[in-house]
Amino acid sequence: MVGDALIDALVGVVGPANVLIDADLRAGYETDWTGRFHGSARCVVRPANTDEVAGVLRACSSAATAVVPQGGNTGLVGGSVPRGAEVVLSLRRLDVIEPVDARHGSVVVGAGAVLGAVRTDARAAGWDVGVDMASRDTATIGGMVSTNAGGVHVLRYGSMREQVLGLEAVLADGRVVGRIPGLRKDNTGYDLAGLLTGAEGTLAVITRVHLSLVPHLPDRVVTLCALDSFADAVTVSGALRKKIDSLVALEVFFPEGLALVCEHAGLQLPFDRSYPAYLLVECAAHGGRANSLVEELGSVLGECPQVQTTAVAVDATSRARLWAYRDRHTEAINAAGIPHKLDVTLPFDRLVDFERAVRSYLDEVAPHTRVVWFGHVGDGNLHVNLLGLQPDEFAVDDGVLDLVTAMGGSISAEHGIGIAKRAAFERSAGAADLASMSAIKRALDPGGILNPGVLVTP
């Protein structure tokens, strides 16, 4: 039987301990982080290196069996869990972190290396990883590159794509492509690393990444600003982007989310009363400049009459206390129910209109929905979390995403398309763009075994 022959072949590649067939062993790989997306896998296979990944893909290609690549399973659009009878290819054992190049600021890591661990090694060498996010202790570098993850420092360092100097990946037929180590400048031919970044595992399986690092900036100030409206938060964030070179994060959240976080995490509210909007600002430098950062940020905020009050933190513990109000939104929302997570970018001057339009749309079509907003306002990126819908109820999501498209925005700022946004993506992208993507998919994965159903129609 084809199925048994495939299992035998996979066991031959990775050994019996790394082919998980029992439902109990598979379970942790079959449901996404939010609990919204799940399916049954044929098995979960856990290779340890690039050769084994190639062997797994050759076996799956020969058996014409679909493969779902998976890193830390922190994705939010259903792209890394099975839809039915695929082989889940877990990259977590490819977790080698090579020694940091401390002179020039880069590191080569396996796809399964966890962001937090890479950051620890980078900081020990005086460098840092340019991308950071709340899931840092679970998210893997391979998954982050595959989804072109963003996070809280995009306004300073860009998304994952900007951190990749080179990568190595395995095509569906087992051939290995890419360049490790990568070079700072390399203008030879198509940018394969750029193409595979953000491809959500549909074109190849990323196995190793050469990351460019950024200087570690230990002097930091975090200020939480209370504001009377979202419009004021957008105005203040524009002023800060214009005037402060040391800015590394500009995040927004609102009283609904803050109340959830405080209840879930047992935190006190940051101020003696609630405000309609909150802006979390972080500035960073090195050379013992913390006090001058406080002065500079205080002086620019002092010129913004929209700021009602602030809480300022300089030492690491106080900074972490302020960041918790923002970082813990995701877990607090998940504790309140299974969210539909819409992650969108708008032109800065449409953000406020968009927020109003979504509220009136929801009042009309789904008044029972609870909406929790937060996001990276410095990038024009809002996270719209809808609670109270059925997991498979896509119509309300699609209505919100169509508003995004109508206002000139993007239906995915940083989470990707996955399966959650396939229909909206097909409506929002141009026909020639979609056809070009399908042609690339067919060229690199002619059998269509890599993450079928995700992102692109072959």
The phi and psi torsions of 450 (rounded to 5 degrees) equal -90, 110
Work out whether 220 is an interface residue with ligand MLT (CB under 6 A). no
Q: Given the complex with ligand MLT, which of 63 and 455 has the nearer CB atom?
A: 455
Rg (CA), the chain: 22
Which class for 256: exposed (0-12), middle (13-18), buried (19 or more C-beta within 10 A)? Answer: middle
Q: How far is the CB of 87 from ligand MLT (least distance, A)?
A: 27
Q: What DSSP character marks residue 98?
A: P
Q: Given the complex with ligand MLT, which of 412 and 428 has the nearer CB atom?
A: 412
Work out whether 383 is an interface residue with ligand MLT (CB under 6 A). yes
Q: How far is the CB of 141 from ligand MLT (least distance, A)?
A: 16
Work out whether 73 is an interface residue with ligand MLT (CB under 6 A). no
Longest distance between any two alpha carbons in the chain, whole Å? 73
Work out whether 134 is an interface residue with ligand MLT (CB under 6 A). yes
Note the residue count of the chain: 458
Q: How far is the CB of 70 from ligand MLT (least distance, A)?
A: 18
State the binding string over 223-262 for ligand MLT (x if CB under 6 A, else -).
----------------------------------------
Q: How far is the CB of 34 from ligand MLT (least distance, A)?
A: 8
Q: How far is the CB of 134 from ligand MLT (least distance, A)?
A: 5
Question: Are 449 and 174 in contact, with CB atoms under 8 Å apart?
Answer: no
Relative to beta strand 214-215, strand 370-376 is: unpaired
Q: Given the complex with ligand MLT, which of 391 and 448 has the nearer CB atom?
A: 391
Q: How far is the CB of 123 from ligand MLT (least distance, A)?
A: 21
Q: How far is the CB of 86 from ligand MLT (least distance, A)?
A: 25
Runs of H (alpha helix) within 185-229: 192-196
Q: Given the complex with ligand MLT, which of 154 and 437 has the nearer CB atom?
A: 154
Q: How far is the CB of 137 from ligand MLT (least distance, A)?
A: 13
Give how far Cα 436 sits from Cα of 247, 412, 430, 439, Å: 37, 19, 10, 5
Work out whether 340 is an interface residue with ligand MLT (CB under 6 A). no
Q: How far is the CB of 372 from ligand MLT (least distance, A)?
A: 10
Helix (H, G, I), strand (E, B) or coil at 301: helix
Q: Given the complex with ligand MLT, which of 139 and 449 has the nearer CB atom?
A: 139
Q: Given the complex with ligand MLT, which of 227 and 413 has the nearer CB atom?
A: 413
Which class for 177: exposed (0-12), middle (13-18), buried (19 or more C-beta within 10 A)? Answer: middle
Q: What DSSP character marks residue 389?
A: S
Q: How far from chain centre, in Å, is Cα 314?
A: 27
Q: How many CA atoms lie within 13 A of 253 on its CB side?
A: 26
Work out whether 341 is an interface residue with ligand MLT (CB under 6 A). yes
Q: Given the complex with ligand MLT, which of 30 and 251 has the nearer CB atom?
A: 251
452/454 Cα distance (integer angstroms): 5
Work out whether 217 is an interface residue with ligand MLT (CB under 6 A). no
Which class for 70: exposed (0-12), middle (13-18), buried (19 or more C-beta within 10 A)? Answer: buried
- Per the structure block, which two tokens stand in for 78? 């259903």
Work out whether 330 is an interface residue with ligand MLT (CB under 6 A). yes
Q: How far is the CB of 397 from ligand MLT (least distance, A)?
A: 14
Q: Given the complex with ligand MLT, which of 210 and 329 has the nearer CB atom?
A: 329
Q: Given the complex with ligand MLT, which of 210 and 340 has the nearer CB atom?
A: 340
Question: Are 138 and 72 in contact, with CB atoms under 8 Å apart?
Answer: yes
Work out whether 92 is an interface residue with ligand MLT (CB under 6 A). no
Q: Given the complex with ligand MLT, which of 44 and 261 has the nearer CB atom?
A: 261
Q: Given the complex with ligand MLT, which of 204 and 411 has the nearer CB atom?
A: 411
Question: Which residue, 438, 429, 436, is CA-closest to 457?
Answer: 438
Instruction: Tell me the residue number closest to ligand MLT, measured at CB.
Output: 330
Question: Are 342 and 397 in contact, with CB atoms under 8 Å apart?
Answer: yes
Question: Are 69 and 91 in contact, with CB atoms under 8 Å apart?
Answer: yes
Question: Which residue, 451, 453, 407, 458, is CA-closest to 428?
Answer: 407
Interacting residues toward ligand MLT by CB under 6 A: 133-134, 330, 341, 343, 383
